[in-house]
């Protein structure tokens, strides 16, 4: 048998709890209006390193007429893979390059006609043998083309 201590109807108790929950969550209500204005005044895209790398590569290859005709693009990098746990920094540029040059397929070698090189060290002008520099994409990334012999 349930013994009621107070003679307050259940309807009033539930409405009070519901009102307290609504008032508690009102502090989040104004976030709905804050988010669109935040996105208007802060330019996140230019500060995003991933997006800028992809857009730099896309802007560089759209000027080259026969780039997409090849179907495959080589990729070389001087970023060393220290261990299995360091995989994120070692292949990040490879996947960014693959995303940027779609529908072309990126191969992790220097056997193709076009090769995109991502350098992490200070010696950024290291040329590949048998290739000529077509375009400097940005401070870290270069586009090479195989020299016909």
Say if residue 149's pLDDT is above 80: no
Say if residue 122's pLDDT is above 70: no
pLDDT > 90: what percent of the chain?
A: 9
What number of other Cβ atoms are within 10 A of residue 79's Cβ? 17
Convert 41-59 to b/e letters by CB count within 10 Å (16 or more is b).
eeeeeeeeeeeebbebbee
> Environment class of residue 112 by beta-carbon count within 10 Å: exposed (0-12), middle (13-18) or buried (19+)?
buried
Structure confidence by residue, pLDDT tens digits, 29-88: 777 777 766 666 666 666 677 788 888 999 999 888 888 787 889 988 877 665 555 556
pLDDT at 124: 55
**What pLDDT band is residue 108 in, cutting at 50, 70 and 90?**
confident
* Mean pLDDT value of segment 1-27: 78
**What pLDDT band is residue 100 in, cutting at 50, 70 and 90?**
very high
Q: What's the distance, Cα to Cα, between the start and end of the chain in Å? A: 98
pLDDT at 10: 79
Domain ranges in the chain? 10-41, 44-146
What φ, ψ does residue 51 adopt, rounded to 5°? -65, -40
pLDDT at 12: 85
Pick the residue with more confidence: 25 or 82? 25
What's this model's pTM, rounded to 2 decimal places? 0.63
Task: Please say whether the beta carbons of 112 and 64 come within 8 A.
Answer: no
């Amino acid at each position: 048998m349930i013994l009621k201590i107070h003679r307050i109807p259940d309807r009033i108790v539930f409405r009070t709890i519901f009102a307290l929950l609504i008032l508690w969550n009102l502090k989040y209500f104004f976030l709905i209006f804050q988010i669109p204005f935040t996105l208007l005044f802060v330019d996140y895209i230019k500060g995003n390193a991933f997006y800028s790398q992809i857009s730099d590569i896309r802007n560089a290859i759209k000027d080259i007429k026969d780039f997409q005709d090849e179907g495959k693009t080589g990729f070389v990098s001087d970023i060393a893979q220290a261990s299995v746990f360091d995989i994120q920094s070692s292949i990040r540029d490879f996947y960014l390059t693959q995303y940027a040059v779609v529908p072309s397929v990126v191969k992790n070698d220097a056997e193709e006609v076009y090769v995109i090189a991502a350098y992490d060290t200070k010696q950024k002008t290291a040329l590949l043998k048998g290739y000529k520099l077509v375009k400097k994409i940005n401070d870290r990334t270069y586009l090479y083309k195989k020299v016909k012999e």
